[in-house]
Amino acid sequence: MAEQRRDQRDGRGARESAGAMGDARRRSVRAEEAHAWGALVATARRTVSDGLVVGTSGNVSVRVGDTVLVTPSGVPYDRLTPTDTIGVDLDGRQVLGTLLPTSELPMHLAVYRTTDAHAVVHTHAVHATAVSTLVPELPSVHYMSGALGGPVRVAPYATYGTEELAENMLRALTDRSACLLQNHGTIAYGTSLDQAFDRTAQLEWMCRLWLTASSVPGLSPTLLTGEQVAEAGERLRGYGQGGARRGEG
């Protein structure tokens, strides 16, 4: 994959290039950022172990105040340590670390600038990516679409790492917490790393479900109406131990 190959090239020698990038703007990692970095690395490793990315093809970020911690370009997640912490401000200026940030930084920053997100997960999950090549919107095959704000849209294709891709993504994310990226993958955000990851995994599951159901010869999946998805979404806002209503699971 071109994105992964570029990230691998960018990652090599990134430490040595730190001087050219301007060490003067770097600062020490704060305690809250160190804690958040550990959680970010754990989430990034989970995207690999759960089969949502291959190699370094995805990326993860988390916001701490006005600093965005983000995975580096082209470094396998199992090699990341506390000394590899990378942080940028909301304008993309690097303030922490010496490794180069992911090439998909424009997408991450676009989400933080326009939503209340505290974490973003981007993957190349296989079923979701397959669906992104087939339809402009994931058919509402399951009520969990409501947990993402409604039917999941597909952002039109643009070259990875570009502002054009970030703009396409933002349009697809309008009133949604996740979207598909055409011929590319997924992006989801949340108020925490756990929520962003769970939404990513849920989206991949729904894509797999639709592909499985639609593959039966002579039959088409029954789809939910917009009203049914909206009703489920409203009920899901109260889901869990702290909610006013209980979910079914």
- Please list the active-site residues: 104
The string of DSSP letters for 48-88 reads HHTTS-STT--EEEEEETTEEEEPBTT--GGG--GGG--EE
Tokens of 18: 């730190």
Please state at what angle helix 31-49 crosses helix 193-214, rounded to 10 degrees: 20
Q: At what angle do helices 163-172 and 105-114 cross, to 10 degrees?
A: 40
* CA–CA separation, 42 and 235 (whole Å): 30
Would you say 126 and 132 are in contact if contact means Cβ atoms under 8 Å apart? no
The residue behind tokens 């970030």 is 166
92 three-class SS: coil
CA distances from 206 to 74, 102, 111, 127, 211 (A): 29, 27, 23, 9, 9
* Residue 181: exposure state from Cβ atoms within 10 A (0-12, 13-18, ≥19): buried
DSSP, collapsed to helix, strand or coil, labels residue 172 as helix
> Nearest to residue 151, comparing CAs of 136, 163, 161, 139?
139
* CB-CB neighbours of 5 under 10 Å: 13
